[in-house]
């Protein structure tokens, strides 16, 4: 039911969401990746659109349908994601759900072959740009910047420190010690300047709806 303006409080607002993993090529046939499915980020993009927002979804490589009414930009690497985020500005709110690869390699143009003597090749890792930190500190910072933090231990302590370090307004801390990555449910803590709010384990769609509503309240 999408009745009156009260049901679509984000009408006229621009939202930017990142979702999924990034892939960092090693050579034409191999890449570095992670277990992010994109489900939570896609659900948040859909929930923001349901509340009336104009949503740009910057998606890493995932196999998910685009939620209705959303502009989707597909990317592969962290650097492509950073460029797509920049191109999607300005926005009133950014929700950075993507599991961005922290490191990349300088990819080989040709397939790396096994050397005859069996010595494994050494991968030289370089750090990727921190998209969230860059956005938070940048000249076109959205009014509300929300980061995610995937943690397996000391979840609240790590996420609280991450909020400071990244300069974002909220961190949604994700306990990924169980089957969260790729799974259907999520157990999160919302960390803001005011403190920590812990939600029960909920389906990802419900987590998304609650986060979208909280964003609408904040921007009202």
What does the alpha-carbon distance between residue 203 and residue 219 come to, in Å, rounded to a whole number? 25
CB of 8 to ligand CTP, least distance (A): 26
Build a one-symbol-per-residue string for 95-114: x at contacts with Ca ion by CB under 5 A, - elsewhere: -------x------------
Segment lying near Ca ion (by CB under 5 A), choices 54-62, 94-102, 182-190, 191-199:
94-102
CB of 115 to ligand CTP, least distance (A): 32
CB nearer to Ca ion: give 80 or 102.
102
- DSSP assigned state of 124: -
CB nearer to ligand CTP: give 38 or 147.
147
- Judged by beta carbon distances under 5 to 8 A according to partner kind, the member of ligand CTP, Ca ion, none in contact with residue 15 is none
CB nearer to ligand CTP: give 44 or 149.
149
- DSSP assigned state of 79: H
- DSSP assigned state of 7: G
Say if CB 151 and CB 175 are below 8 A apart: yes
- Where are the strands (E) in the chain, listed by range? 14-19, 24-27, 30-32, 54-59, 71-74, 93-96, 103-105, 125-127, 144-151, 170-175, 185-186, 188-192, 195-198, 202-203
Binding site for Ca ion (CB under 5 A): 102
Write out the catalytic residue numbers: 34
């Amino acid at each position: 039911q999408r009745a009156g303006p009260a049901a679509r409080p984000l009408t006229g607002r621009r939202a930017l969401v990142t979702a999924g993993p990034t892939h960092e090529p090693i050579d034409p046939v191999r890449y570095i990746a992670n277990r992010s499915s994109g489900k939570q980020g896609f659900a948040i993009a859909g929930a923001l659109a349901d509340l009336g927002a104009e949503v740009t979804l910057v998606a890493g490589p995932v196999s998910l349908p685009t939620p209705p009414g959303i502009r989707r930009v597909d990317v592969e690497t962290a650097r492509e994601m950073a460029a797509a985020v920049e191109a999607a500005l300005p926005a009133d709110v950014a929700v950075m759900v993507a599991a961005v690869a922290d490191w990349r390699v300088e990819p080989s143009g040709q397939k790396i072959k096994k050397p005859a003597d069996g010595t494994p090749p050494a991968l030289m890792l370089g750090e990727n740009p921190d998209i969230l930190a860059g956005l938070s500190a940048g000249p076109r910072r959205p009014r509300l910047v929300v980061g995610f933090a995937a943690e397996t231990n000391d979840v609240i302590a790590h996420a609280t420190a991450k909020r400071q370090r990244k300069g974002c307004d909220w961190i949604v801390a994700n306990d990924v010690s169980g089957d969260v990555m790729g799974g259907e449910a999520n157990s999160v803590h919302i960390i803001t300047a005011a403190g920590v709010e812990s939600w029960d384990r909920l389906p990802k769609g419900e987590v998304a709806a609650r986060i979208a509503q909280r964003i609408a309240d904040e921007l009202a």
